[in-house]
Structure formats: C-alpha cells, structure tokens
Amino acid sequence: MSEAKIPAPHGAAARRGPFRVGDRVQLTDEKHRINTITLQNGGEFHTHKGVLPHEAIIGLPEGSVIENIDGFRYQALRPLAKDFVLSMPRGATVVYPKDAAQIVQFGDIFPGARVVEAGVGSGALSISLLRAVGDGGFLHSFERREEFADIARGNVSTVFGGDHPSWQISIGDFQDKVVELEEPGSVDRVVLDMLSPWECLDAVATVLAPGGVWTNYVSSVTQMSRVVEAIRASGQFTEPECFETLVRGWHVDGLAVRPDHRMVAHTAFLITCRRLADSADGIPKAKRIKDHSYSAEDLSAWTKDHDEEEWTAEALGERGISDKKLRRAARDAHQAVRVRDAQDSETDSED
C-alpha cells in the first residue's frame, strides 16, 4: 500500500498542522512559567504582563514565539500527552506519565490488543492505553462512579479531537460488570488502578486469555502485599513481579551538571503476572520464608481476614474530592470539545 492510502490513526490530525480554534496551547513565558489555554474565536489570555489575543496564535505553526500587546513573549506548543495529563481536569488521582509508560511496556499493551481497565478515574491511563492499542484494538474501561467517567470522557475527547472509536466505558463495579460484558478467556491484557484489586481476582481469571498479562497499580505497600498474596494463593497466575519507577531529572548548565534537587519520589507500585492455562499448576516461588517470625495479628493487618471496611481511601492516605470540585472538573474537561463543536457548527452554517 502506498503511504498516501494509509488512513491517519485516530487523533493524529488534531496533533498536526497550524493552531486551530479548540486546540489546547501551552504558553511558556520569558520566565519559563507555563500556562495552558484553549483557543477560542475572540478569546484573550490576560496576565499582569498584558493581553495576548487568541487571534494572534490561530493559524500559526506550532513552536511559534508570539508577543502580547506589551511585547512580552510566549513560546506556543500543543501540550504533549504527558503534559496534558498533569494539567487536565481531574476527579481522582491520575497515573503519572512515568508509570503509564511502564504499564504500556511491562503490561505489554500492543497495537490491536483487547484490553480491560478499571477504574477510569480521570482517564489519564485510558489515554496511554488507547494510544497503545490504536484504532485496531479495543479498550473497555470500567468505572463505578459516573461523575469520574464523565470527566474522563471529556479528557479523552480533548486529546483525540473527539470520541475514540476503540473505546467503551461501562459504569459499575469491574468485578461484576466485566464478566457480564466480556467473553471468558477473550481479553489480552488487564490493567487495574483501584483501592482493592484483590476483589477482582476471580473476574480477571475468568476474562483473561491464557498467557494474558494482568497489571496492578497500587499506591501503598499494604495493598501490594495483599494483592501479591492473593494472586499466589489463587494458583491461576504466574509468580507476580513487583517494582516501582523513580525518574530523576538533571540540571545541565555548563559545569553545573547534577541531579535536580527535587523529584516526584513516590507515586505507586506496579505488580504484573500472567494467566496460566486452566489445566496448569503454577510453579511456586523457589524460596519462601518457611518460619514466619511475625505475629498473626501483624499479618492480619493486610490479609483478607482483616476488616474489609478498614480498606478505605482515607485509611490508605488518599484525599477525597468535593462534589463542587468534581462538577468544575467535568465542566473544564469538556471545554475543548464544546469550543470545537461550536466552531464546526459556525463553519457549517457559513458553507
């Protein structure tokens, strides 16, 4: 097939060409402060350094340097996906780009894969998974809270310039819904980012194809321990692998070359394992501690005989979000899509 006949993957067009109405634009000023705006007909960007009309940006190529009416300069670029997820409206905590990259690699998310994920939260990980499965794949995302799913829909539409044809969100608890909606053994990859992934073990074992990869993203050591022990005890998966990713930026300036003083030290742990064939007996870890020196009481603090009600977001140190903030995040998440739709209907009525 000649290059001209290959259809552009979904969302590619929105990332190319001159700036258009509805685009999100990252403006970096002379002090390297970053602001992100959505281009609108008649829109203006105001700071104490003056006013920058959106018309001065629309139609320019990416990477242009633009002066506001007082001569203050801004470098204009479309945010990369990694920039977008850190600044996008959010309800729940997002998967950081450094971890999303690892999930795609160690979770082996391939073009054309059938992937299920939960929860959707703000849709940060969904964006990476959709980019990895591509137009020929399928991402089925499960979220128990409609308000979060709504924010995620807005964020995903902003990145891909509209609905993604390979994406479906289902509302409800993953462990109940996935077995209703996915055929047994039909899913290539499962990715869970939630408080209690061990509650989903039977559902994952049902829908995941033999050899399929299950990736868990959990923020605390107690969750990691509990999910690993549950996976081992089930005997349906390979020995889990656990790791975290630390990314340290560097300051490079002449002879002053050193690591940055500050970094995001902890986000979460990743746990991966693979589904064994139903007929297979798992090969247990070679060396396990034989004589436990810890008390049953200590162990029960993170095993299943512990009171389920104590595994709350607050107990694990996660902050909640008010209804007011959730409503504002949903409105902001759909802003780019609203502006783009308004522009499209304006263009249609002119034609």
Residues that bind ligand SAM (CB under 6 A): 92-95, 118-119, 121-125, 142-145, 148, 173-175, 193-195
**102 vs 122, which CB is nearer to ligand SAM?**
122
**44 vs 173, which CB is nearer to ligand SAM?**
173
Closest alpha carbon to 276 in 204, 182, 223 = 204
> Min. distance of Cβ 174 from ligand SAM in angstroms?
4
CA pseudo-torsion sign 337, 343, 344, 346: positive
> Min. distance of Cβ 103 from ligand SAM in angstroms?
9
> Min. distance of Cβ 320 from ligand SAM in angstroms?
11
Tokens 């990743």: give the residue: 270
**39 vs 117, which CB is nearer to ligand SAM?**
117
> Min. distance of Cβ 5 from ligand SAM in angstroms?
35
**29 vs 147, which CB is nearer to ligand SAM?**
147
**64 vs 93, which CB is nearer to ligand SAM?**
93
**95 vs 207, which CB is nearer to ligand SAM?**
95
Decide if 232 contacts 239 (C-beta within 8 A).
yes
Closest residue (Cβ) to ligand SAM? 119
User: Residue 162: enclosing H or E segment and its boundaries?
Assistant: none
DSSP secondary structure letters along 166-229: TEEEEES-HHHHHHHHS-TT-EEEEEE-SS-GGGGHHHHHHHEEEEEEEEEEESSHHHHHHHHH
> Min. distance of Cβ 249 from ligand SAM in angstroms?
22
Q: Give the phi and the psi of residue 256 in degrees, each rounded to 5.
A: -85, 85
Residues 6+ apart with CB under 8 A from 191: 103, 107, 109, 115, 116, 117, 125, 129, 214, 215, 216, 217
> Min. distance of Cβ 304 from ligand SAM in angstroms?
16
